[in-house]
Chains A and B, each alone.
Chain A
Amino acid sequence: NAGVTQTPKFRILKIGQSMTLQCTQDMNHNYMYWYRQDPGMGLKLIYYSVGAGITDKGEVPNGYNVSRSTTEDFPLRLELAAPSQTSVYFCASSYRDTVYEQYFGPGTRLTVT
């Protein structure tokens, strides 16, 4: 199994551009999450999904959108990128909710200039 995969690994965006961060898991997990990690700070939840067709906001959802059309894929969309969105983004999945082991993707390092 590949586990949780993310693309791209690195990306530089100009202010106002848009992009989609891809996340795929092959473990048939129902729950998927997007987190961001800023220097010196703990990871923060952006959005999560409890199954195909169901998404909900986390702690820091502004400026992002998600969709979950399949169990495997959970893309994160950035519209009108801003310097404040410069961060490392991690996708994670778990069999059910967060009382189960979390599996993380390798991360996407995004810079907005």
Chain B
Amino acid sequence: KNEVEQSPQNLTAQEGEFITINCSYSVGISALHWLQQHPGGGIVSLFMLSSGKKKHGRLIATINIQEKHSSLHITASHPRDSAVYICAVKSSGGGADGLTFGKGTHLIIQP
């Protein structure tokens, strides 16, 4: 069973700061997802990674398959980035489909 750990659990930063959220997992994966859960509860997909790096606007996601680690970076953070960021993985072994989720990182960006 894959264990997904995120750090930090909570992060408060000032507007404009560079933000890094980390995700580690315990067994091999075929895909890693970064999701954003808005204060209202809705969940949207930010990235799906299987290797390397992806960028979308001010968001950058990287993954190191050998180290079983991924990071989500936010450049020039803004109060509207305040949300819970969730890492989720699809294990490469057999078994049920669906994702294994981390507990999330609660990010607050203060103006």
Interface residues in chain A, defined as those with a beta carbon under 8 Å from any beta carbon in chain B: 31, 33, 35, 40-45, 48, 50, 56-59, 88, 90, 92, 97-104, 106-107, 109
Contacts and interface: CB of A to CB of B under 8 A. Distances in A.
B44 A104 contact: yes
B41 to A, nearest CB: 5
Contacts of A44: 101
Contacts of B97: 31, 33, 48, 50, 56, 97-98
A107 B41 contact: yes
Contacts of A88: 41
Q: Which 9 A-B pairs have the closest CB atoms?
A: A42-B101, A45-B98, A104-B43, A99-B31, A98-B90, A43-B101, A42-B103, A101-B45, A48-B98
A99 B35 CA distance: 14
Contacts of A109: 41
B30 interface: yes
14 contacts: A31-B97, A33-B97, A42-B86, A43-B99, A43-B101, A45-B96, A48-B98, A58-B98, A99-B50, A101-B33, A101-B48, A102-B45, A104-B35, A107-B41
B90 A97 contact: yes
Interface in B48-100: 48, 50, 86, 88, 90, 96-100
B4 interface: yes
Contact of A40 (B30, B31, B103): B103
B45 A99 contact: no
Given A42-B102, A98-B31, A58 B45 contact: no
A76 B41 CA distance: 20
Nearest to A33: B98
Nearest to B50: A99
A103 B33 CA distance: 12
Contacts of A90: 43
A40 B106 CA distance: 11
B45 A106 contact: no
A41 B22 CA distance: 17
